[in-house]
Structure formats: structure tokens, C-alpha cells
Amino acid sequence: MAKRSARSVFAGVPNYAYDKRLHNYVDLSTGRMVSRSVIVDALRDFINSRDLVLENLSEMYANGILSREEFYVAFTNEVANSYKAAAALSQGGWHNLTPSHWGKVGRELRDEYQRIVNFIDDIDNGRYIDTDGNMQIAAIRNRAVAYNSSAYGMFWRLKDEEMMNDDAITEERWWAILDETTCERCARFHAMGWQPKGTFPPPPLHPSCRCGKSYR
């Protein structure tokens, strides 16, 4: 097993440590840097694992099983956990999050909580009842997971800020999955290759966006 350097901080990811100088995880078994796509995939897997919970909570509320307060508390707790996990993963572990990081997470969550209130109001006001008087459960479930996927953006906003503040980093590259979820703008960014840092905004560009950035 590779020796853990003094500047590397264990991040709670099995066999990985975070090297603050490199802004990246290192595989302790090989001493090599972990591809950022591996970390992003881990984040996506975690977020996706919570989608069903949010879908079920929203359906239960629409069907009158949960009260407004019960739904709000349960739903916002799930979204907050996704945001906090994304922030921790971006910085190499919970213990690397500073008061400034927590402040950014808190501010974004406050905005998200208001959007969730708007979501609840829309359900209460009949926005999801069709012309036949039926509740559009599929549409409600689709909207529910959009709040959770916003946590993906939390990861990239913190990571991008970290890179912008490092003078040694001069270039960035947009990488896209290039599948059916890739929009025209993402594909265009991908084709541009390496550009001066700050050329591209932090991902995602749209709700289903799975793009990322590399830096050097």
C-alpha cells in the first residue's frame, strides 16, 4: 500500500485519500490519482440512490398520506443530506469543510427550501390535477428528483471555486458523457478541448446534465 503523504487527508472513501495540493483523491493501494470521473460517478450513484425516496415521499403527500409539515421536513432533510455529501466529496471529506463552505451550502439550501415550498404549493393548488380530475403522479415524481439532482451542482460550484483560487491551475476542459442526455451546448463545450480556466461555467447546465470539468 502506498504511503500516505503528510498533505493527504483521508476522506472517508475506502482506500482513497485527498491530496489538497493536487485537488484530487489518491488511491492508497497504487499511489495514483483517482480519475475525477470515478468520484463524480460515486456522487451520482449516491444522489440517484435517494431519488426513489423523494419520489415516494412526494407521491405519499399527493395522496394525502403525509401532512404538509411531515412532507416538508422529510423532503428537505433528504435534499440537505445530498447537498452536504456533495460538498464533503468535493473537498476531500467532512473535516475539510470550512465555515465558508458550510455558509455556501446553507445559502443554497435556503433557496432550495423555498423552491420546495413552491412545489408543495403547486400540489396543494391543483397544478398536477389533469382535466379529468386525476392526480398526475408521474409529473410530481419527476419534479421531486430535480431538487435532489441539484446537489450535483453543489459539488461542482465548490470544486470550481477551489480551482479558480489556485494560481497554478491555468486551464480547464469540459467533458460530456455524449449520450442521449447530452445537450447541444454540452457537446459543443466538450469539442472545444482545453481552454483558459474560467471559460466554462460549473456543471450542470440542465437537470439531466452529467457533464464535468477537468483542470490543469
Positions of the chain with pLDDT under 50: 1-12
pLDDT at residue 39 in the model: 87
Nearest in space to 140 (alpha carbons), one of 37, 61, 27: 61
Dihedral in degrees, nearest 10, Cα atoms 120, 128, 143, 80: 10
Q: Is the CB of residue 24 less than 8 Å from the CB of residue 33? A: yes
pLDDT at residue 14 in the model: 59
pLDDT at residue 35 in the model: 86
What does the longest C-alpha to C-alpha distance in the chain come to?
66
Nearest in space to 18 (alpha carbons), one of 80, 81, 94, 86: 94
pLDDT at residue 216 in the model: 92
180-191 pLDDT tens trace: 889 999 999 999
User: What does the DSSP assignment read for the chain?
Assistant: -PPPPTTEEE-SSTTEEEETTTTEEEETTT-PBPPHHHHHHHHHHHHHHHHHHHHHHHHHHHTTSS-HHHHHHHHHHHHHHHHHHHHHHHHTSGGG--HHHHHHHHHHHHHHHHHHHHHHHHHHTTTTB-TTS-B-HHHHHHHHHHHHHTHHHHHHHHHHHHHHT-TT--EEEEE---STT--HHHHHHHHT-SEETTSSPPSPSSTT---EEEE-
pLDDT at residue 43 in the model: 87
pLDDT at residue 209 in the model: 85
pLDDT at residue 13 in the model: 52
Nearest in space to 172 (alpha carbons), one of 23, 18, 25: 23
> pTM value?
0.84
The residue to which cell 440537505 is assigned: 80
Nearest in space to 197 (alpha carbons), one of 177, 214, 175: 214
User: Using CA atoms, how far apart are residues 94 and 116, in angstroms rounded to an integer?
Assistant: 26
User: Taking each helix axis from N to C terminus, what angle separates 151-164 and 137-149, rounded to the nearest 10 degrees?
Assistant: 20
List the domain boundaries for the chain: 1-34, 35-165, 169-216
